[in-house]
Chain A
Amino acid sequence: MATLTLRRKLEILADAAKYDASCASSGGRKRDSRDGQGIGAINGMGVCHAYTPDGRCVSLLKILLTNFCVFDCAYCINRLSSNVERARFSVEEVVRLTLDFYKRNYIEGLFLSSGVIRSADYTQEQLNLVAKTLRETHGYRGYIHLKIVAGASPELATEAGFYADRLSVNVELPDETALARLAPEKTPGEIKRAMGVVRLGIEGGKGRSYTGKTARVFASAGQSTQMIVGADAATDTEILARSESLYGSYGLKRVYYSAFSPIPDSSAALPSERPHLMREHRLYQADWLMRFYGFEREEIASAAPGGMLDPALDPKLAWALANRDRFPVNVNRADRELLLRIPGLGVKAVNRLIGVRRHKRLTLEDLRRASGGLKRVRPFVTTADWSPGGLTDSETLSARLAGAAKAAEPHQLTLF
């Protein structure tokens, strides 16, 4: 077999990694190299260094160590039975690329994953070795996100946590029985156990040991996971229930939803269609409502007939339209919890309005300046100078707002 050039390997192994949605570099213990001893820093906020024409952020060098894989997951381009070209980086090659890219300010760090070769333990050892070399041989202090291979020993997962800022184990499919069918070598148990080990590591890293010493920092940017949306029959509300359980059980920072994407060399087990980007977008919105806006899952589900979120309306607006008896809300009197329920007002806008209303009575103009648009807000509020009258209960409201919503979020609509 002809040896591949480094550039060709990069091409193959970046292409192989791109179906993982995560590219965040936020979180992580702040540190820097001002002392002249190392290289790299973490500012806590994360930086997106570029955006590809799909509008996705490029923050990390996201690659696989190898796309050889002994698993045969139907949805994956790197599955055993795929005819895709295979490649493998040496540890040294990944280290060099990371440092060279980092020094030129192309990236905030490395996100390294891998196909499973030989065994889960062997694969994890190789991933850990890259992180260890970066940290210990090169004094690298930038961001590292490592994948935990489900089935790897708890000791190796723990070692990964000492080198990496973030760890992730992908649950892949929301429905565990579908996982058994489409990813026959993976078991939900191994995936959950790996997430459990990571949570224990993170919680151990926050405390102090009994001797009073601060425990060794462990994956300070936490853990995340990804679910592929649209490859199995799970409904949106089933997916949200799974997320809720995962957030609660493993203290996840993020659940990523990745619309199942067509791949070259697809498997007969799955239909090849365009990715359902709007569905993915609505799931993120619903996820946000549950985590930052005080919505219960049942409330979102109540406005999602058949378990599916309305593609034409964002879930907050859909909920408001289905619960019009709760509106209009008097923005001069309502508490924070209720203000967060108003369509078109985000957390920042609500905080601003609460600050301002201590000093004056809010008008529509205040709402416009705080939120950046009144179209969705107007039917649901009363202010010092505005009352929606019959607008809140108008039968045509839903249709009109669906149109407004369409104009307000052009970026996730059908693109062709």
Chain B
Amino acid sequence: MYGVRLQDPLDLAGWRRAARALRLGGVAPEQVAWRVGDASGGLFDGPPPPEPPSGAGFSAPRELLDLAADLVCHRSDDRFDLLYRLLWRLKDEPALLRITTDADVAEAHLRRKAVQQATHKMHAFVRFRLVNPAFEAAGERETYVAWFEPPHRVLTRGIDYFVKRMGRLAFSILTPDACAHWDGAGGLSFTPGLERREAPGEDELETYWRTYFASVFNPARVNPRLMTQHMPRRYWGNLPEAAVIPELAAAARGRTDAMVEAAPTPPSPRTGRVQVKRAPAPPPPDAAPADLPEVAAAIQACRRCDLWRHATQGVPGEGPPQAPLMLVGEQPGDMEDLAGHPFVGPAGEVLNRALAEAGVNREEAYVTNAVKHFKHELRGKRRLHSRPNGTEIEACRWWLQTERRLVRPKVIVALGATAATAVFGRALSVLKNRGVVGEVEGGGLGFLTVHPSYLLRIPEPGEKARAYDAFVADLAAAHALLKAA
């Protein structure tokens, strides 16, 4: 039987040195007793381990060293035994640490979890007290001190969190094991543990904190078991808010009963005095809007088909009220639906570029869509465009007719098949009929070309470029009609 004495409870380096020597010396885990500090050893304290043969070596996996760094913080007495047992077994079972359901590995992970949780709870439950309220007058650095009793030795492991958030403020965290001190200017130091009586007393803000804690609690949801699961009683001694928990929990049932049984109260006298902005009532479904702003407002209340339900908003057309050129697309896409403007997504970019190359100023055209709400289906977390059907196109045609009646364009360019159906009132093959289609019922010369999103879907670069050039040529031709018309 060998005995190893480590300097302090967190002596990871000491454990590594000894464990290395033990394993090289072929000493099995059952033959080692691990002790910490000067405490007198038990009956089984034996001689120190043999010196390893020089030049001999082995490498321990990184994972074990990481695990060891966490496990030394655990307050169990046999943590060093467990770690050495893992190191020993790795000799014959190199994949051991990946078998996380092995009894030893699972036990190590449970303890690591306890250490991680204790660290997390320290971040949560440390309560600082301001120790120099007159710091400004005294020309001192604002300084906070906390007393804390972690279930595991996690002060060093978790101190970074406080340094990061306190910045230029100075603080100390005092615990029975050790104390940490941050000077607010880059200096972090540690001193030995203290007793509770050396920690500062009340802070006047604690009254406010208790008030907040009590007020944010909803008695109708009382569930003390869930609370203690997350905030175990062992921490309560150092939490100023814990003092009010018993009375809050005790009164909860009575408060809830009172709310449930109370009759509704009559409206407050303030009610009549305050001017309330009611939502504008939707216009009657067939009232013809008198101008474009009215169109934009009325589209939001449109219920001519069901597409409004899953869309963010109706997207009206945009452009000069007397634009000679009107461009009609299919329907708003994902981006248009969010922004509330037509052609602002990827297809809009293609359109803008093509218009510029065709010498057409988009600002001079009235740009709109055949269908005003975004029709889509959900695919995972994305909305995929789906083509509006005949009923929806027909329902929305009323809006396009209204826009045409108000704008009175000389030339109307339908972009793609849906727009063709809406503009010409019948289905037309785009590629067979592209170019001038003829006079449109209700006025204006009708022109048909592809939808810019069609260009985005062509995979072959050469073909894509040719199709794009043809699109630009179409836009230029439609624009030229304005002079002729």
Interchain CB contact (< 8 A) of B95 among A32, A277, A359, A370: A359
CB contact list, B178-215 vs A, under 8 A: 184-186, 203, 205, 207-209, 211-215
Chain A nearest CB from B333 CB (Å) reads 12
Interchain CB contact (< 8 A) of B229 among A104, A251, A411: A411
Question: Is B312 in contact with A36, judged by CB distance below 8 angstroms?
Answer: no
Given the complex of chains A and B, what is the CA–CA distance between A50 and B243 in angstroms? 13
CB contact list, A214-269 vs B, under 8 A: 244-245, 247-249, 251, 259, 261-268
Question: Is A19 in contact with B218, judged by CB distance below 8 angstroms?
Answer: yes
The interface bits of chain B over 255-279 (1 if a CB of A lies within 8 angstroms of the residue's CB, else 0) are 0101111101101101100111111
Question: Is A70 in contact with B265, judged by CB distance below 8 angstroms?
Answer: no
CB contact list, B242-301 vs A, under 8 A: 245, 248-249, 252-253, 256, 258-262, 264-265, 267-268, 270-271, 274-279, 300
Q: Is B169 on the interface with A (CB-CB < 8 A)?
A: yes
Q: Is A355 on the interface with B (CB-CB < 8 A)?
A: yes
Chain A nearest CB from B105 CB (Å) reads 9
Q: Is B106 on the interface with A (CB-CB < 8 A)?
A: yes
Kindly list chain A residues whose C-beta atoms are within 8 Å of the C-beta of B81: none
Interchain CB contact (< 8 A) of A47 among B120, B144, B259: B120
CB contact list, A1-48 vs B, under 8 A: 6-7, 10-12, 14-15, 17-19, 32-41, 43, 47-48
Residue of chain B at shortest CB distance from A365: B101
CB contact list, A395-416 vs B, under 8 A: 410-412, 415-416
Chain B nearest CB from A7 CB (Å) reads 5
Kindly list chain B residues whose C-beta atoms are within 8 Å of the C-beta of A266: 259, 262, 264-265
Interface size on B, residues (CB 8 A): 96
Given the complex of chains A and B, what is the CA–CA distance between A196 and B165 in angstroms? 33
The interface bits of chain B over 155-188 (1 if a CB of A lies within 8 angstroms of the residue's CB, else 0) are 0000001111111110000000000000011100
Kindly list chain B residues whose C-beta atoms are within 8 Å of the C-beta of A135: none
Chain B nearest CB from A259 CB (Å) reads 8
Q: Is B128 on the interface with A (CB-CB < 8 A)?
A: yes
Interchain CB contact (< 8 A) of A186 among B186, B262, B274, B279: B279
Kindly list chain A residues whose C-beta atoms are within 8 Å of the C-beta of B270: 80-81
Kindly list chain A residues whose C-beta atoms are within 8 Å of the C-beta of B382: 248
Residue of chain A at shortest CB distance from B339: A200
Residue of chain A at shortest CB distance from B337: A196
CB contact list, B214-236 vs A, under 8 A: 214-227, 229-231
Kindly list chain B residues whose C-beta atoms are within 8 Å of the C-beta of A55: 221, 223-227, 229-230
Question: Is B167 in contact with A39, judged by CB distance below 8 angstroms?
Answer: yes
Kindly list chain A residues whose C-beta atoms are within 8 Å of the C-beta of B106: 369
Q: Is A208 on the interface with B (CB-CB < 8 A)?
A: no
For this complex, into which size category does the number of interface residues on chain A fall? 35 or more
Q: Is B378 on the interface with A (CB-CB < 8 A)?
A: yes
Q: Is B24 on the interface with A (CB-CB < 8 A)?
A: no
Question: Is A53 in contact with B312, judged by CB distance below 8 angstroms?
Answer: no
Residue of chain B at shortest CB distance from A8: B211
Residue of chain B at shortest CB distance from A269: B264
Chain A nearest CB from B108 CB (Å) reads 12
Question: Is A415 in contact with B126, judged by CB distance below 8 angstroms?
Answer: no
Task: Known contacts A43-B164, A47-B120, A360-B99; decide if A103 and B169 are in contact (CB<8 Å).
Answer: yes
Q: Is B75 on the interface with A (CB-CB < 8 A)?
A: no
A interface, CB within 8 angstroms of B: 6-7, 10-12, 14-15, 17-19, 32-41, 43, 47-58, 61-62, 70-72, 80-83, 97, 100-106, 119, 142, 176, 184-187, 189, 192-193, 195-197, 199-200, 244-245, 247-249, 251, 259, 261-268, 272-275, 277, 352-353, 355-356, 358-360, 362, 365-367, 369-370, 410-412, 415-416
Q: Which 9 A-B pairs have the closest CB atoms?
A: A55-B226, A33-B167, A32-B164, A196-B338, A81-B267, A54-B221, A14-B215, A52-B217, A268-B264
